[in-house]
Structure 1
Amino acid sequence: MTEQLTTPMPESSSRKLGLEMTVAALARLLLNTSRRFAYPFAPALARGLGVPLVSITSLIALNQLTGVLSPLFGPVSDRWGYRTMMLLGLGLMSIGMLTGGFVPFYLTILIALFLAGLGKNIFDPALQAYIGERVPYERRGTVVGLIEMSWAGATLVGIPMVGLLIEHFSWRAPFLVMGGLGLVSIAMLGALFSGGTRRSEQGAGAITFGQAWRQLSCSSAAVGMLAFAFLTSLANDNLFVVYGAWLEDSFALGVAALGTATTVIGVAELSGEVLTASLADRVGLRRGVTVGLFLSALGYLLLPIIAQSLPLALAGLFLVFVIFEFTFVTAISLVTEVLPEARATMMASYIAVAGVGRVVGALIGGPLWVWGGLTAIGVVSAAIVLIAFVVFWRSVRL
C-alpha cells in the first residue's frame, strides 16, 4: 500500500458526490432492511404462508449463504463498472420483493429472500469500491462511516417500519413496499451516479478474473486484511450468539427484556459508525483500527468481570459493540485502498471472509458457553483479537 496523493475536489463535484452518497445510503438502508427483516418477523411469515417456523429459518439460512457468492461478483464489478453492479444489486432485490408480494407462495418467498441477500452482496462491494474510486483518501473514513449507518438504521428504523406495515396491512405489504422503493432507488441512482470508473475511462477497466485474483493473492496487505476480517468477525460473533443466553441465565430476563438488549446493540452499532464518520479521518485510519483492536481485546476480557448487575452488563455490551463497529467500519475505509486496480474484488472478498468468520464464531460460541460460560467466551475472543492485532500491524502500512 502506498501513500495516496489527492487534490481538493471542486465545490460542484463535492456537492454531486454528497448527493450520490445520500442516495446510496438510502438505497443501502433499503437493502439492509430487506436482508434483515425476516429474522424478527419469521413467525409472521410462517403464519402467512401456513408453514412451520423451521421452514422460514431455513430460508434465512439460505439467505446467509449468498455472502459466499460475493467474491464471484467482485471481478465483474471491476470489469463492468461499479454503477452497473449497484443497479444490478438493487434490481435483483426489487424483483425478489415484488415477486414475493404479488405471488405469495413458499417457493417465491425463498427466491425473494435469496435475491435480496444476493443483491446486497453485489451492491455493497460495488458501492465501497466506488467510494474508494471517487472519495479522496483523507475523507474516506467520514464517508464510509456515514454510509455504514444504514446497517444500524435497518435495525432502528427499517425493521420497525416493516412491523408497522405487517400490523396495519399484511405480511405481504413489506415485500411490495420494498420492491417499489427499490425501483425508485434504481431510477435515482441511475440518474445521479457517474457511468464509469476512472480506470475504465483510462482504458484499464477490462481487468480479468485471473488478474484480479492474482493481485489479491500476491498482496500481503490484502491477505492481511482478509485475515483481519475473519478473526475480528469470529471474535464478535463468538459473543453475539450467546449474549441472550447469558443475560437470560444471569439476570432472568424475559423475551421483551431481551428485545430491549437487542436495541442496545443496535444503538451501539450506530454509535460506532458515528465515531468512524467523526473521528477516523482525524486520528488516521490505521491508528484508529490499531486502537480499536486493543480496546476490543480489553473489552472482551473485562466484560465478565464488570457485568455484576444488569445495568453494568448492558453498559459493557454497549461498549464492546461500539468498539467493534468502530474498528470494523474504519477498517473498511483502509480496505478500499489495498488494491486500487481491483477494489470491488477486494471488497467482495473482505465481506465474504468476514461472513465465514461469523459462521465459525457462531459455531464455537455455543460449545464455549457450555464449557466455560462468559469467562471462556471473553478470553477466547480477546485472544483472537490480539492475533488480529499482530496480523494487522505487520501487514498494513498506510
Structure 2
Amino acid sequence: MKERDKLPEKVENLDGMETGLAVKIGVAAIFRIVFNTARRFTYPFAPALSRGLGVPVTSVTSIIAVNQAAGLLGTFLGPVSDRLGYRAMMLAGLGLLTTGMLGCGFFPYYFVVMAALFLAGLAKSIFDPAFQAFVGERVPYKKRGLVIGLTEFSWAASSLIGIPVAGILIDRLGWRSPFFVLGIIGLTGIISLFFMIPSDKYRVIKSEGADGYFKALRKLAESRASLGTLGLIFFISMANDNLFVVYGLWLEKEFGLSIIAIGIGTTVIGVAEFAGEALTALLSDKFGLRRSIAAGLLFSSVSYLLFPLFGKNLSFALAGLFMVFLFFEFAIVCSISLCTEILPGARATMMSGYLAASGLGRMTGALIGGPVWLAGGLPATGVVAAAVSLLALFSFVWG
C-alpha cells in the first residue's frame, strides 16, 4: 500500500487552529448528539417502549443489547475508514442512522424496531471512529485531551437535551415521535457534512486487497497496549450499563416518577457527564492521560459501591447518580484521547476496536443488568459494577 502523498497538517496550538477546521469539528460534534440520543433514550423509557410495542420490559432490554452488539461490527469497518476516508464513513453512518430511525417510526413492530436499532447502533460504530480519527489526525497529542473532551460534550448533551426532549415527545405525541425527529435531524446532518467537509483527496490509496485490510487488524491484535486499553473499555462499559439499563425502572418503581420526570431527572446524568468532560478538557493533559484514567477508574468503583446507600431518598439518589456518571465519564473520555494515539498509522481501526469493546461491554452489562437487579436489587447492581470497574483498572495496568 502506498503511503498517503500528503496529510493535512496538524495544528500546533488551538489558538492557531484555522476557523474552518474548528467549525467542521464543531458541527460534526453537534450531529453526534443525534447518534448518542438514539442510543441512549431507550434506556430510561424502556417501560414506555414496552407498553407501546406490547412486550415485556425484558424484551426492550434485549433490543438495547442488540443495539450495542452492532458496535462489534465496527472493528471490521475501521480499516475501511482508514483507507476510504473519514468523510465518506461519517456520511455513511448518518445515512444508516436516518434509515434506522425512520424505520422505527414508520414500522412500529417489535422485530422491525430491533432491526432498525441494530442499524442505528452500526451507524454510530461507523461515524464515531471516523470522526475521532479525523480529529486525531489534525490535532497534536499534547492538545488531544482538550479537543476530545470538548467534542465529547455531545455525549452529555444527549442527557441534558436529547433524552428530556424525547420524554416530552413521548408524553405528548406518543412513543414513535422521537424516532421521526431523530431521523429528520440525521438527514439534515447528511446534507450539512456533505457540503462542509471536503473529500479526503489525500487519502486516495492503492489497495492491497485483503492483505492490507487484515494487516490493520493484526496491528490491533498484536499490540499489548491496544488489548489492555480495549479490556479497560469493555469492563468499564459493562459496569456502567449494568446500572444504566435498570435506572429508569428503578426511578419509576422506587419513587413513582412519570415519563417526563424521568427524562428531566436524566439531566442530572447529563450535568455529571458535562462535568466529567470538562475535567478531561481541563486536567487530563496537565496530569497525564494514564494517571487520569487510573484515578477515574478508582473513583468509579468507589461510587458504584456507595451508590445503593443513597437509594431511598430521591435527592440523594440523584446525587449518587451524579457521582457515578462524573467519574465514569472522566475515565472514558480520557481513554478515548489515549486511544487516538496508540496506533497512529491506523487510528480509525483503533477507534473501531474501542467502539467494539464498548459495545460488547454495554451489551453484556445490558444483558446481566436485569437479572442482577431482580436477584439483589440496587445493592447487587452496585457491587457488580464496582467489581467490574476494578477489572477495568487491572486490564489497563496490564496493558
Same fold flag (TM > 0.5): yes
Q: Structure 1 residues 333, 356: closer, same or farther in 2, change over 3 A?
A: same
Give 1:332's match in structure 2, choosing from 309, 333, 336: 336
Pairwise CA distance, 1:83:
1.0
Instruction: Tell me the residue number matched to 1:131.
Output: 135
Give 1:354's match in structure 2, choosing from 330, 354, 358: 358
Whichever residue aligns with residue 388 of structure 1, its letter is A
Q: Structure 1 residues 205, 7: closer, same or farther in 2, change over 3 A?
A: farther
Check the 8 A contact 2:163/2:263 in 1, yes or no. Answer: no
Check the 8 A contact 1:80/1:205 in 2, yes or no. Answer: no
Give 2:393's match in structure 1, choosing from 386, 389, 394: 389
Instruction: Tell me the residue number matched to 1:255.
Output: 257
Identity across matched positions, percent: 51
Pairwise CA distance, 1:33:
2.4
Instruction: Tell me the residue number matched to 2:29.
Output: 25
TM-score normalised to structure 1 length = 0.82
Pairwise CA distance, 1:314:
3.1
Deviations 1:188-237 (A, max 9, x none): 21222242286x36879988221111101111110010111112122333
Q: Structure 1 residues 12, 380: closer, same or farther in 2, change over 3 A?
A: closer
Q: Which moved more, 1:122-131 or 1:219-228?
A: 122-131
Q: Structure 1 residues 20, 227: closer, same or farther in 2, change over 3 A?
A: same
2:318, 2:366 → 1: CA distance?
21
C-alpha RMSD of matched pairs (Å):
3.5
Alignment of 1:275-314 (within 5 A): 275-304=279-308, 310-314=314-318
Deviations 1:317-339 (A, max 9, x none): 31121001111111101011111
Give 1:117's match in structure 2, choosing from 100, 116, 121: 121
Whichever residue aligns with residue 253 of structure 1, its letter is F
Q: Structure 1 residues 99, 140: closer, same or farther in 2, change over 3 A?
A: same
Instruction: Tell me the residue number matched to 1:186.
Output: 190
Give 1:87's match in structure 2, choosing from 83, 87, 91: 91
Deviations 1:39-64 (A, max 9, x none): 5556776777xx52349826545433
Q: Which moved more, 1:126-135 or 1:373-382?
A: 373-382
Check the 8 A contact 2:45/2:248 in 1, yes or no. Answer: no
Pairwise CA distance, 1:356:
1.8
Instruction: Tell me the residue number matched to 2:3.
Output: none
Give 1:240's match in structure 2, choosing from 244, 251, 260: 244
Q: Structure 1 residues 384, 105: closer, same or farther in 2, change over 3 A?
A: closer
1:337 is paired with a residue of what secondary structure? helix
Pairwise CA distance, 1:140:
1.4
2:56, 2:375 → 1: CA distance?
27
Alignment of 1:15-54 (within 5 A): 15-39=19-43, 51-54=53-56
Q: Structure 1 residues 197, 330: closer, same or farther in 2, change over 3 A?
A: farther
- Consecutive unaligned residues in structure 2, runs of 5 or more: 1-8
Deviations 1:7-34 (A, max 9, x none): 6259674322210111111111122223
Deviations 1:297-329 (A, max 9, x none): 332344455767554443233112100111111
Give 2:222's match in structure 1, choosing from 214, 218, 227: 218
Instruction: Tell me the residue number matched to 2:6.
Output: none
2:341 is paired with a residue of what secondary structure? coil
1:304, 1:171 → 2: CA distance?
31
1:197, 1:230 → 2: CA distance?
35
Pairwise CA distance, 1:76:
1.1
Pairwise CA distance, 1:81:
1.1
Q: Structure 1 residues 163, 233: closer, same or farther in 2, change over 3 A?
A: closer
1:98, 1:248 → 2: CA distance?
28
Equivalenced residue count is 385
2:133 is paired with a residue of what secondary structure? helix
Pairwise CA distance, 1:375:
4.8
